[in-house]
Chain A
C-alpha cells in the first residue's frame, strides 16, 4: 500500500453534486459542520432545482452544494472547484466546466450506466469515465452503490434503504481525503435516527466504510490538510442568511421590549424565515401564515398599529402584491419591516436561483410619492446586522423599511461571531410627550424635529384618533383634499426619509483607498466576489477600491463626495444596471454597469476580467 502524500493548502473548494434525491444538501451540510468545528473559515452555496423531484438522473434534477473552506479568511464559495463529487452522469455533465484543470473528480460509477448516460445526454452513451476525456483531471471512479450494498448486506434493509446510505459512503471518503474525522457526523446520525437505530447504524457503517476505503485504497495519492483559520476569539455559530434575519428580528424585539409579529405567505426563498420564527413561540414571537401576501402585509400593518414590531417577508412576486399596503404604511407613518429575499424574475422567473433585480421596485415600486428606506444584506451574517438596523430605523423614524436579501445569501452560510445582548443597540421608541395637544385634542400627526410622529396604540387612554390612507391634514390627521396641504405632506414625508441619512453611519471604503483609479461599487450579495476580486487586483498592482452599500435609500450622506474621488466607478450587479442608474441619477457620475443575470452569483474572475476590460476600453478612448 502506498503511503498517501500530505498536501497542505490554504483553501479548497469542493462541490458535491448528484440527483436531488441523493442527499446532496445533507452531505454538504455535514461536511461544512465538520470543517467548521475543526476551525476553518467557510462559505457555502447550496444550489438546487426548482422541482422537488425532477425526473431522476436528468440534467434538470441535479442538486449541488458548494463549499469553500480555508485557513484564511473566506469571502465566497469559490469560482472553480478543486474537488468535484458526482453521484451520476448528469451531475458531471453540468459541473465539469467549473472544475479546475487537474482537479479531482470523485465519481460513482453506478451513476454512469447506459440509462444515466442517456439521461445526461452524453452522445451515443459515451462514458466519460472510460473514454479518456477526463485525462486532464485526477479521476477516482468508485462503484459507490455496489460498495455500500456490500457493506450493508447483513443489515436486513431494503435495497432502497441501503442505497440511501451511499451519500454517507462518499462523505466518509471525503473526510479521509481532507484529514477530518467522521465523529461529528456519527453523532449527528445517531441523533437524527434516534427512533430507528437500524438505519442509524447502517448510515454509520456506510460512513466508516467510505472512510476506511480512503485509508486502504491504493488510488489515492494525496491527502489534504487545511489548517484551522485564526478567527478572533469568541462564540461562533454557522449561520445562513434567512436564519440570521430571523434571529435579528427576535433580538430587536427582545432588546426593545416589543412583541414580534411576523406575517408571511410561503414563497421560495423566503419561507425559511417563517419556519425559523415559528419555532420561537417561547420568545413571544407570533407568526402568522396569511392567506396571501397582501394579507400578510396588511396583518403586519394591523400589528404595527397595535404596537408590535411588525414584519412581513416574501420574494419578488409577493412583494409586488404588497405594494398597495406598503403605500398605506407610508401614509400611516407606522413602523414595519418588509423583507424581500430576491430571486430570479420577472413573474415566477427562476424561483430557486438568485438575482438582485428588485432594487428599483424596492425604491420606486409604489403609486404616488411613497418613499421607503431600503437596506441590503451583503452576506449571510450581515443579514443579522441589516435586519436589526432596519427594525431600528422603522421604529425610530416611524416608517416602513425594506430589507433586500437574495437567494444566495439566504441559503449560503458562514461562521458568525454573534453579539451579546448588551452589544445590541437600544431603539428610541417615540411615545407622546404631552406636546401633541391643541385644545385638549390629541394631534396624531404632530411631529418632532425629524418629522417623526409618536407611536400611539389602541388601548392608550386619552389618545383615541383615526388614521387612514386618505391624505391627511398636517398635525390633526383629519382628511384633507387641499392641494397645498397635500404638497406639504408629500414633502414632509419625503424629508422625513431623507433625514434618516443623518442617523446612519457614513459610508466607508471596504478595501483600497479613496482616490484610486477604479472603484468597484456593489450592494448586497455581490460583496464576497467583489471583495476577493479587489484584493487580487490590488495584489496585481492595480489602483482599485471596493465599496459595498448597505444603505440604498437614502444613501449615506458622504457617498457623493466619496464617489467623486475615484477616476472610474464600475458597478457589478445581478441585474441590468439598477444601482448604476441610481448612482448616475443621484450623483451625475458616469458609473459603468457590470451586469449578470444568469441566476448565479458573480465569480471573482468574472468581476476581475470585466473590470480590466472596462479599464482598457477607457484607456483607448
Chain B
C-alpha cells in the first residue's frame, strides 16, 4: 500500500509536533493534561517505533480525549473499558506499541476489573492513569482516589469512603512495572514514560494530574516550591531513600519504614531502593501514601517496581506458531463418511 498521507508519513526525523493532530485541544486552560500530552509527544520521536505502529486507546473522561490529539492510530472508546480493548488488540497484533490512557474514575471505578486483569495478564502495553482525584468530565464528583472527607458535588458534606491507592492495587494485581509521576515535573515524567515504554510487560504509571477546575491544588504539597522538597521523594534504584535535600532519610525498623533526620544517621543506614524487590515495593507503597485526611504527607515518585525478564503474554507467542493449513481446513473432525447412503467410519 502506498503512502499517500504526507502528514502521516514515516517517522524518520519526526519531532514532537509531528505527533500533534489538527484537532483543537479542548481541555480547560491550565489543566494538568496539557503537560502529559506534551511529554508523551516529546518522547515518541525517540522510542524508535514507526508512527503507524503506535496506538493510543482510551476510555471516557477528560483525560480520555487524549487519542484525538495524537497523530497515530487511536481509539476513544467507552467508559472504563480501554483495558479490555487494549487486551484484544495486543492479542492479535503484538507488534503494536499500545498506550492506554485512562482516568481514576475510568480505570479504578467503572473499569477496575479490566485494569487488574490487564496487569495480571502482563501484556506488553503502557497504561497511563491520569489521577486527578475527581471526576472531571462529569463536572466534579468524588472519585475512588479522592481522600476521605473530600467535598465535591456529590459529597457536599465530605466523602466517607476510603480512597484506593493505585500503586498498591497495581502491585496486588501482579503489575510488573508500577510507577508514579506528576504532571508538574516534566523531566521526570518523560523519564518514567520512556522507562515504561522500554519495559517488556504491562507498565502502569499513575500520574498526579491537577484538575484546576474541580479539584485545584490537590497535589500542591508536591508542587508548591516551599513544600515539594519536604514532601516528595524520588526513588532511585540502588540509592538510599533520601529527601528534602538529603536532610532526611528513611530507615527500616523491622518491617516499618521510619523517617529520620540525617544529622544522626548516615546514608548507609538508610533503606536502599531495589526496584525488583516486590516485598519492599509493597511496604513502600503501603506506608508512605495517603493518610485518610489530607494533610502533610510524603509521596514517593518514580518506579516502585520494575521486574525484568518476564515474558510477554502468551498471546503473542501463538502468533509465531500460526500455520496456514488453508486447504486442510477444519475437517479433521470428520468422523463419518457416507458413500452411497451408507455411513462408514472415516
Contact = CB atoms under 8 A, between A and B. Distances in A.
B341 A230 contact: yes
B57 A437 contact: no
Nearest to A37: B343
Main secondary structure of the interface of B (DSSP, over half): mixed
Interface in A293-316: 294-308, 310
A228 interface: yes
Nearest to A308: B92
B321 A281 contact: yes
13 contacts: A233-B339, A237-B334, A238-B336, A286-B91, A295-B84, A303-B91, A305-B88, A308-B92, A431-B1, A437-B4, A457-B93, A466-B21, A478-B68
A260 B315 CA distance: 13
Contacts of B89: 302-303, 305-306, 458
Contacts of B9: 462
B337 A464 contact: no
A461 B341 contact: no
A295 B116 CA distance: 12
Given A295-B83, A302-B87, A442-B5, 17 more contacts: A36-B336, A228-B343, A237-B334, A283-B330, A284-B324, A286-B92, A298-B81, A298-B84, A299-B84, A302-B85, A303-B91, A327-B78, A421-B326, A458-B73, A466-B75, A467-B75, A479-B23
A282 B87 contact: no
Nearest to A290: B84
A229 interface: yes
Nearest to A479: B68
A298 B85 contact: yes
Interface in B302-346: 315, 318, 321-327, 329-331, 333-346
A332 interface: yes
Nearest to B64: A468
Contact of B53 (A300, A304, A308, A459): A459
B67 A39 contact: no
A332 B68 contact: no
B225 interface: no
A282 B5 CA distance: 38
Nearest to A297: B84
B78 A328 contact: yes
A460 B1 contact: yes
A459 B76 contact: no
Contact of A299 (B4, B91, B318): B91
Contact of B6 (A233, A295, A440): A440
Chain B interface size band reads 35 or more
A289 B338 CA distance: 37
B137 to A, nearest CB: 12
Of A295, A415, A437, which is in contact with the most chain B CB atoms at under 10 Å from its CB?
A: A295
B35 to A, nearest CB: 21
A288 interface: yes
Contacts of B315: 286, 288
Contact of A464 (B52, B91, B329, B344): B52
Given A305-B75, A458-B73, A459-B52, A298 B88 contact: yes
Interface string B238-263: 00000000000000000000000000
B273 interface: no
A418 to B, nearest CB: 6
B335 A442 contact: no
A281 B314 CA distance: 12
Contact of A441 (B7, B51, B77, B331): B7
Given A305-B75, A466-B74, A286 B4 contact: no
A236 interface: yes
Interface string A452-489: 00000111111111111110000000110000000000
B343 A294 contact: no
A187 to B, nearest CB: 9
Contacts of B344: 37
Interface string B161-179: 0000000000000000000
Interface stretch (A60-68, A198-206, A215-223, A246-254): A246-254
Contacts of B5: 437, 440-442, 462-464
Interface in A425-462: 431-432, 434, 437, 440-442, 457-462
A125 B334 CA distance: 49
A234 interface: yes
A235 to B, nearest CB: 5
A439 to B, nearest CB: 9
Nearest to A246: B330
B81 A415 contact: no
B47 to A, nearest CB: 16
B299 interface: no
A417 interface: yes
A38 interface: yes
A250 B324 CA distance: 12
Contacts of B329: 250-251, 254-255, 421
A302 B315 CA distance: 14
B338 A254 contact: no
> Which residue, A247, A254, A292, has most C-beta atoms of chain B within 10 A?
A254
A434 B4 contact: yes
Given A37-B345, A288-B87, A461 B50 contact: yes
Given A281-B321, A461-B50, A234 B338 contact: yes
Contact of B323 (A250, A282, A462): A282
B333 A247 contact: yes
B76 A469 contact: yes
Contacts of A51: none
B39 interface: no
B92 A261 contact: yes
Given A233-B339, A461-B3, A294 B334 contact: no
B1 A462 contact: yes
B331 A418 contact: yes
A458 B52 CA distance: 6
Nearest to B1: A460
A234 B53 CA distance: 47
A418 B334 contact: yes
A458 B50 CA distance: 11
Contacts of A286: 91-92, 315, 318
B102 interface: no
B45 to A, nearest CB: 15
A237 B321 contact: no
A291 interface: yes
A266 to B, nearest CB: 15
A17 interface: no
B224 to A, nearest CB: 36
B96 A458 contact: yes
Contacts of B88: 261, 263, 288, 298-306, 310
A291 B81 CA distance: 12
